[in-house]
Amino acid sequence: MEKRIEKAVELFKEGYNCSQAVVAAFADLYGFTNEQALKMASSFGGGIGRMRQTCGAACGLFMLAGLETGCTDGKDREGKENNYKTVQALAEEFRKRNGSIICAELLGLAKTAPTPATPEARTAEYYKKRPCVKMVEEAARIWCEYLSTNSDKKSVE
C-alpha cells in the first residue's frame, strides 16, 4: 500500500488538488477511471472550492469511505449509520495526527480572511508554506491502514 501513498503525493506534486490526489490514488479499486476520480474530487480542493473549510485531503478520504462503506438504499438506516461511524472515525484519526480537519486551521489562516478562487502557482515557495503534501500523505496513509484492517482490498498494491 506504500505505493498508493506515494502515488497520492506524486499526484499532488503534479498539480492536482489535495482531494483529487487522495481519491485518484485509490479510484481503480472501486472501478473508477483516473479521469472520473479527478473530476469527482475536483471541487473539494482547498477546503472545498478553496473556501478553506474541511481539508480537501480529508474530503478525499471521506469520499473513499463512501465508496467502501456507503449505502445505496435510501431507507438503509443501518448502512448510513455504519458509513457515518466510519467517516467520524477517519475524521478523528486525521484530526489526531494533524490537529484539525479544517483547511484554514491547518494552513494557519485567519478564519475571516477571504480566499480568492484562483489557485496559487505550485512553486518551491508554495510547498514551503503549505502543509498540504503532508495532509495528502496522511489521508492516504489513514486509508491504507483502514483497508488493511477492514476490507477485502487488504493486499492491493
Question: Nearest to residue 23, comparing CAs of 122, 134, 140?
Answer: 140
- Predicted confidence (pLDDT) per residue in 45-85, tens digit: 999 999 999 999 999 999 999 999 999 999 999 999 999 99
Q: What is the pTM of this model?
A: 0.91
* Residue 6 · residue 14 · CB < 8 Å: no
Q: Indicate if the pLDDT at residue 21 is higher than 80.
A: yes
C-alpha cell at 114: 477571504
Judging by beta carbons within 10 Å of its beta carbon (0-12, 13-18, 19+), is residue 80 exposed, middle or buried?
Answer: middle
* Residue 71 · residue 84 · CB < 8 Å: no
* Residue 54 · residue 103 · CB < 8 Å: yes
